Amino acid sequence: MKLFTLEFINIYYDEKLRLIEYKWKKNSEHINDKQYRETISDLMKIVKTFEPLYVLGNLLDQYYALPSDTQKWLVEEALDNVFKIGIKKLALVNSQYFLARDIYQTLMNNRENVKIFTDREEAVSWLLEDKQNSNS
């Protein structure tokens, strides 16, 4: 397991599972819009470098409320592009402070490869279900 520490998130990469998990730090409550966009851009660079099949976004400690223009930027610049680089599935563990369902509704559009969870273990099980079924 590799770990990358950025100012506002930790990024974990499990090479065997080809899974990247990013987890917001509690200090994200002090992030501003510019820092948020830079953090997401840095995350995308790491994802492109390692080419995982699965991404788990742990939003439990994300306290930053995205303004509408940043929500649009997030969908267009990050979320839409994540599948273009080979990601099979994206799971999000929702925060009570971060209304992921509202923000990701645009992205989801009935996509089967994006799902929001309230439990991390359920999210990981869903991400890896194809991998587990093919090993059976």
* Amino acid at the residue 106: T
User: How would you class 121 by CB atoms within 10 Å of its CB: exposed for 0-12, middle for 13-18, buried for 19 or more?
Assistant: exposed
Chain segment 38-77, per-residue pLDDT in tens: 999 999 999 999 999 999 999 888 878 788 888 888 878 8
Say what the pLDDT of residue 77 is.
Answer: 83
**Residue reference for tokens 């839409």:** 80
The two three-digit tokens of residue 107, written as one number: 């992205």
Say what the pLDDT of residue 19 is.
Answer: 96
HSE-CB of 15 using CA atoms within 13 angstroms: 4
Q: Please report which residue ranges of 8-119 form alpha helices under DSSP H.
A: 33-50, 68-73, 80-84, 100-108
Coil vs helix vs strand at 11: strand
Q: By C-alpha distance, which of 77, 85, 20 is closest to 54?
A: 20
Please state the domain extents for the chain.
2-135
pTM (2 d.p.):
0.86
Say what the pLDDT of residue 132 is.
Answer: 64
The answer to which of 20-34, 55-69, 116-130 has the lowest mean pLDDT is 55-69
Pair 54, 88: CB distance under 8 Å? yes
Asked if the model's pLDDT at residue 5 lies above 90, the reply is yes
Give me the residues paired with residue 69 across strands.
Answer: none
The answer to which of 4-8, 47-51, 73-77, 124-128 has the lowest mean pLDDT is 73-77
**Architecture of domain 2-135 in CATH?**
2-Layer Sandwich (3.30)
Alpha carbon 117 to its chain's center: 12
Say what the pLDDT of residue 39 is.
Answer: 96
Chain segment 77-117, per-residue pLDDT in tens: 887 788 888 899 999 898 665 555 566 555 555 567 888 88
